[in-house]
């Protein structure tokens, strides 16, 4: 219960922060800001902001600095969804329970709104609103760029586009996931640790936690894609199946995927032993990932 309360609290705070950070819709270009808001203020779970803020709380990090970091990360996540949904990419009509940006507006607006959200993320991290250490902010920016650029999220999406050229095996899919979704989930706990000035050992434990959790999360996502109810999940399902794309479930099977998730969840929990009971809320988040698949 505590976990879900915290998740909702954080989601609300991040939505309020994003509402303040996205420029107001005015001038002839107002649809650009409307499209940014359509994408960013929609009802997301805000899992990545949750991990930034709850990881930072382990080190008593400044809450305002964490919230800004979380909002920046959510801008990057949101931009990636807007671009991934485009007709030339995954061609999705539904996202977070509402029409995708290119459906609600048009393709050009979706490309530009994504570009503007990505740019805004770096603006948020660079701005001196919280008077935090400049070196810390630069480190957050550099690591976010690493996690989301050609050698991170965008690289993973590129691999995801190549199915026709080279059908995917388990190794390729695992590598793709690590880049496409894993890198940004890992960044979310790393960012909390950076803002909180965590020790190298604490960062190492958190990196292990995030890697196992991220993989479990992606397998759970593939399970949902195969078995979920579209009206509950709020995005187009069976998309991999429709495209004839291999994913964790088509390769491991439904039961095999469930077993793999359980194994990864157990490993993720073990990494948190480092914090000797102080990381309860992160532990509960692992159960939440498991619950999504039941």
Residues that bind its own copies (CB under 8 A): 22-23, 27-29, 31-33, 36, 79, 83, 86, 88-89, 106-109, 111-112, 114-116, 118-120, 122-123, 125-128, 134-135, 137-139, 141-142, 144-146, 148-151, 154-159, 161-162, 166, 172, 175, 179
- Nearer residue to its own copies within complex by CB, 168 or 271: 168
- Nearer residue to its own copies within complex by CB, 180 or 271: 180
- Nearer residue to its own copies within complex by CB, 131 or 294: 131
We find the least distance from the C-beta atom of residue 161 to its own copies, in angstroms, to be 5
Contacts 24+ apart (CB under 8 A), 12-19: 13/67, 14/46, 14/49, 14/67, 14/70, 14/71, 14/74, 15/41, 15/46, 17/67, 17/68, 17/70, 17/71, 18/71, 18/74, 18/75
* CA torsion, ordered 80, 54, 291, 293, to nearest 10 deg: 20
93's tokens: 């009509």
We find the least distance from the C-beta atom of residue 80 to its own copies, in angstroms, to be 8
- Nearer residue to its own copies within complex by CB, 14 or 118: 118
- Nearer residue to its own copies within complex by CB, 11 or 21: 21
We find the least distance from the C-beta atom of residue 220 to its own copies, in angstroms, to be 24
Alpha carbon distance 261, 263 (integer Å): 5
Handedness of CA 251, 83, 11, 176 (dihedral sign): positive
């Amino acid at each position: 219960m505590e976990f879900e309360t915290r998740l909702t609290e954080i989601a609300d705070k991040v939505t309020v922060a994003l509402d303040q950070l996205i420029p107001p819709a005015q001038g002839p270009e107002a649809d650009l800001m409307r499209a940014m808001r359509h994408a960013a203020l929609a009802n997301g779970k805000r899992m990545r902001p949750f991990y930034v803020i709850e990881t930072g709380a382990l080190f008593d990090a400044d809450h305002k600095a964490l919230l800004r970091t979380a909002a920046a990360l959510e801008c990057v996540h949101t931009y990636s969804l807007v671009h991934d949904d485009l007709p030339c990419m995954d061609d999705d009509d539904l996202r977070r329970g509402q029409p995708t940006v290119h459906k609600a507006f048009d393709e050009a607006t979706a490309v530009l709104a994504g570009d503007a959200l990505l740019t805004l993320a770096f603006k948020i991290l660079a701005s001196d609103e919280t008077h935090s250490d400049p070196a810390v902010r630069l480190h957050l920016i550099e690591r976010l760029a690493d996690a989301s650029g050609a050698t991170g999220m965008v690289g993973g999406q590129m691999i995801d586009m190549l199915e026709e050229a080279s059908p995917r095996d388990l190794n390729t899919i695992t590598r793709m996931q690590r880049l496409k979704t894993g890198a940004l989930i890992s960044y979310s706990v790393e960012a909390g640790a950076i803002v909180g000035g965590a020790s190298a050992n604490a960062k190492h434990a958190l990196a292990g936690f995030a890697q196992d959790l991220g993989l479990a999360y992606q397998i759970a996502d593939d399970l949902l894609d195969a078995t979920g109810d579209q009206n509950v999940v709020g995005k187009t399902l069976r998309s991999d199946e429709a495209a004839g794309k291999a994913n964790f479930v088509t390769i491991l099977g439904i039961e095999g995927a469930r077993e793999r998730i359980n194994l990864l969840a157990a490993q993720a929990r073990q990494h948190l032993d480092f914090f000797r009971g102080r990381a309860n809320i992160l532990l509960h988040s692992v159960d939440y990932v498991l619950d999504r698949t039941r």
